[in-house]
Structure 1
Amino acid sequence: MTKTLYRAPWIVAYQDGSHTLLENGCLVVEDDRIAFVGRHYEGEVDQEVKTRSIITPGLISTHAHMNESPIDKTIVEDANKRQFWSSSLIEILPPRASAMTDEDKEHCVDLSLATHLLTGTTTVMQMGEVSEYVVEAADRTGIRAYIAESYRSGRWLTRDGRRVEYEWFDDDGKKAMDAAAGLVRNIHERGNERLRGWLNPSQVDTCSEALLRESMELSQELDVPISIHAAQSLTEFVEMTRRNGRTPIEWLDDVGFLNDRVILGHALFLSGTPWVNFAGDDLGLIARSGASVSYNAWTFGRNGINMFSYDKYLKAGVNVCLGTDSDMQSMLESLRWTAVLGKIAERRSDGARADQAFNSATIDAANYLGRPDLGRISEGAKADLLFWNNDSPSMTPSRDPIKSIVYYAQPEDLRDVMVSGEYVVRDREVRGVDIERSVAAVKDAGRRVWSTWPEYDWGSRTIDEHIPLSYPRFA
């Protein structure tokens, strides 16, 4: 057993049910856990480290698609998606996904893992494809990961750029669901405490009632969390009300899918919000059900879509967590945009605060997972720690380290990352990832996706025709 004492100018320590700011304090890491946090420690240790860092708990991303997200860069921004109310889901993401090979997705996983770790994520909840590779890569890097192979009853598409259509699978997604359950069992049989499985029936509008009911039974049988994308676009909202006369959230409740095992991906297009002219109490329904929400502020904010509002969700009693979703896959950006966009939505400087965003990224996410040993620095908790540079231009001076991190920290201010007592990032070197190789491979994947765009676009447009460059090409 190894015991290390860290002394630091600031430690975000957990006390009496809340984060607190411990100035000039110390903490002791013994193997994979925190053995002590406080002002003074007089016991024996194997080594002592005096650091100038701000030490915080690691951040938890409750919504990630690591197998594809890097390719989204310079495709989804500034695009004219008026017909689908600014959502990139219908016209942009399907061609990109269709053009990617499994090898492309694996390279994206490696780069995504590095990006998550370099921006403060110590626990990531991944949903997508090539999941066996994700398991291996997560093990290699040392990150804590919940991994789900996504499945659904059908898919959406457009044949004319004006209407959304649905194609349904003959087996209602049952084979894919069984494979996803098999993945969960295989992960748990590995016996690695950092790796867990969970379930992801993909989207509320692409899953049948039967598939969702079976998914909930599986979640209970396997004793794992479960997530679904719901209320993530106006096209989805309109489709679900057309089918059922019920909002997406109401329909999920009708079919027995809302409970405290569930985290809803996005949940932005709710009844009673400015996005929809539809009466109802979706927010209250979510709160009463005990389901959580994963808010991905940056991904939607860049498309002009915001939560109305973060403050109202919290006041309604909804457990709001944060995610990284599409690129940039940065919990640092998620923290910042949650706070900033929350202020804009409420038109108040305190409409969303740094401490609330930090809670969503730590304690609240850990509570959803039923993990009182994550998201906090307290005796017995896992030693998932971030070491932030307290002396950089962006972090100086730091009267309040949480405000400094949420509003001013840059990725390079995060120097070291620890998961279960082991350094997985040391002086910004990521364990288990050749970043230079991954960058080159993802560049190649991007070029292939761009060049083959007409093969998968409904109108056979080139990518420049579909999504124009910021400026014309030099003649």
Structure 2
Amino acid sequence: MTTTLIKAPYIVAYQDGEHRILRDGCLVVRDDQVVHVGRSYDGPADEVIEAGDRVVTPGLISTHAHITESPIDKSLQEDIARRVFWQTGLIEVLPTIVACMEPEDVRACADYSMLELIRTGCTTVLQMGAMSEYVADAAEKAGLRAYVADMFRSGAWQTTDGTSVSYTWDEEKGRQGLARAVDLVGALDGRANGRIGGFLAPAQVDTCTEDLLRTTKEASDELGVPVSLHASQSIVEFIEMNRRHGMTPIEWLDSIGFLGPRTILGHAIVVAGSSYANYPGDDLALLAATGTSVAYNAWCFGRRGLVMETYPEYLKRGVNVCLGTDTAPQSMIESLRWTAVLGKVLGRNAEESTAKDVFDSATLRAAAAIGRDDLGRISSGAKADLLFWRTDSLFMTPLRDPIRNIVYTSQSEDLADVMIDGAWVMRDRQVPAIDEAEVTARLQRSAAKVWAKWPSADWAGRTLPELCPPTYADFV
């Protein structure tokens, strides 16, 4: 066993059920765990690190990510929307991206994402998508802690006219997808000292049958793993579920027994009582009463003019709100900031949606959602997943309150070092396991291929510039 003593001017330590600032203290890491946190340590140590210019915090947890396609969203999904689909890009844009991607493009996105996540403070990610074996390999190589899930569903949405949404169904495909997802959980169990694991991810509430969701929830309970589902993420979906069942998506999920402490709902923005739905009811009460968690991705929706109404209200009502990265940029720093700022704007109250609120959502609440009281905190017995922020960098200076600085002003360049499971995965901004030039070049090539192939998958055969015009015309 290797014992490392780390001394720092600021440590965000866990005490009496909450984060607290330990000034001029120390922590001790033995192999993959923190074994001591306090003002001093007199025991033996194989290595002593004098981190006099660092703020040490627990690693951040992204509870919602699609790393095998999200990087290609960049410079494509912004500044566009179709009002006929109530601003969502789910109907026209996302399916086209996926249809244009080949396996090598999925691999390029996954490899790039590992670097992007680590460099922006994510130490644990819940990934939902395809080619999960490759993703698990990439995460193990990079040193990231990852829960990986094969997404599956009974049907798919589409538009053939640009104004309406229809669904195609293949229930057997959904059942087979669940079987593969369960097998993946077993295959990943215990891998990389338990750093790589699995969970279940039926895709969307409107693309899964009741039978598939009931069976998935049973499997989640039997396996003891989280289950994540996109729900109440668009007005299109909300209207469709009300048409089918006369209930909100969340009311319907409650009626079939899908909600619960292991369940994480992606987004849960279009809910009863919100202005988007204009539909009476109390979905938040159902979420709170069942212990269901919500993975909020503020930037992903904010760029389309949608926002949780409101993040502070969800917290007041007792909903366990976590944060995710979802789309580009896959940055937990941006997730912290946009959640805090948009919560203040929508609530018209600068004293709510605080740095404490969002930092807790990215650490303690996220750890609770996945049933891990050894993550998201710096305490004896917790995993050594640690972030080391500079105290003397441009955006962290002057430093009075480290959490406020991290949430409101820090940039990725201010994060100097990252430790996951007791191993250094980034030192002085360098991630040794990943060649930055190589992964960015591969992603650029893959994105260019997708852009060129766009008309072949677009329902109307449009080119990408027709759907998403450039910001400025070319100089001639």
Q: Could you say which TM-score interval applies, normalised by the shorter chain?
A: over 0.9
Once residues 88 and 259 of structure 1 are traced to their aligned partners in structure 2, the CA distance between those partners, rounded to angstroms, is 29
User: 1:332-383 CA deviation, whole Å, 9 max, x = no partner?
Assistant: 0000001000000101111210001000000111111221111000111111
Deviation at 1:191, TM superposition (A): 6.3
Find the counterpart in structure 2 of residue 122 from structure 1.
Answer: 123
Change (3 A) 1:25 1:191: closer
User: 1:64-108 CA deviation, whole Å, 9 max, x = no partner?
Assistant: 000000000111100132111111100111111100001100110
| 42-51 or 389-398, which deviates more | 42-51
**SS of the residue 1:300 aligns to:** helix
**SS of the residue 1:459 aligns to:** coil
**SS of the residue 1:452 aligns to:** helix
Once residues 284 and 300 of structure 1 are traced to their aligned partners in structure 2, the CA distance between those partners, rounded to angstroms, is 23
**Contact 1:36–1:379 (Cα < 8 Å) also in 2:** yes
Find the counterpart in structure 1 of residue 45 from structure 2.
Answer: 45
Find the counterpart in structure 1 of residue 219 from structure 2.
Answer: 218
Letter in 2 for 1:391: D
**For 1:37-116, what aligned pairs fall within 5 Å after superposition?**
37-51=37-51, 52-116=53-117
Once residues 119 and 65 of structure 1 are traced to their aligned partners in structure 2, the CA distance between those partners, rounded to angstroms, is 16
**For 1:31-430, what aligned pairs fall within 5 Å after superposition?**
31-51=31-51, 52-171=53-172, 173-188=174-189, 190=191, 192-430=193-431
User: 1:391-419 CA deviation, whole Å, 9 max, x = no partner?
Assistant: 01211111100001000111010010001
Letter in 1 for 2:4: T
**Contact 1:345–1:351 (Cα < 8 Å) also in 2:** no
Letter in 1 for 2:345: I
**SS of the residue 1:436 aligns to:** helix
Once residues 364 and 388 of structure 2 are traced to their aligned partners in structure 1, the CA distance between those partners, rounded to angstroms, is 18
Change (3 A) 1:50 1:190: closer
**Off by >3 Å, runs of 4+ in structure 1:** 189-192
User: 1:197-252 CA deviation, whole Å, 9 max, x = no partner?
Assistant: 00000000000001001101111121111000000000000111011111000111
Corresponding position: 1:440 with 2:441? yes
**SS of the residue 1:402 aligns to:** helix
**SS of the residue 2:475 aligns to:** coil
**Contact 1:395–1:404 (Cα < 8 Å) also in 2:** yes
**SS of the residue 1:216 aligns to:** helix
Query: TM-score, normalized by length of structure 1?
Result: 0.99
Letter in 2 for 1:61: S
Once residues 311 and 18 of structure 2 are traced to their aligned partners in structure 1, the CA distance between those partners, rounded to angstroms, is 20
Find the counterpart in structure 2 of residue 23 from structure 1.
Answer: 23
Deviation at 1:5, TM superposition (A): 1.0
**SS of the residue 1:303 aligns to:** coil
**Contact 1:64–1:125 (Cα < 8 Å) also in 2:** yes
Deviation at 1:473, TM superposition (A): 2.0
Unaligned runs of 5+ in 1: none
**SS of the residue 1:86 aligns to:** coil
Find the counterpart in structure 2 of residue 471 from structure 1.
Answer: 472
User: 1:131-172 CA deviation, whole Å, 9 max, x = no partner?
Assistant: 000111111011111000000001001111100110111515
User: 1:256-305 CA deviation, whole Å, 9 max, x = no partner?
Assistant: 10111100000000000111111001111111111000000111111111
Letter in 1 for 2:393: S
Once residues 424 and 190 of structure 2 are traced to their aligned partners in structure 1, the CA distance between those partners, rounded to angstroms, is 25
Unaligned runs of 5+ in 2: none
**Contact 1:172–1:208 (Cα < 8 Å) also in 2:** no
Deviation at 1:314, TM superposition (A): 0.3
**SS of the residue 2:202 aligns to:** coil
Deviation at 1:438, TM superposition (A): 1.1
RMSD: 1.0
Once residues 301 and 405 of structure 1 are traced to their aligned partners in structure 2, the CA distance between those partners, rounded to angstroms, is 20
Deviation at 1:189, TM superposition (A): 6.0
Once residues 288 and 227 of structure 1 are traced to their aligned partners in structure 2, the CA distance between those partners, rounded to angstroms, is 18
Letter in 2 for 1:203: Q
Letter in 2 for 1:277: N
**Contact 2:11–2:22 (Cα < 8 Å) also in 1:** yes
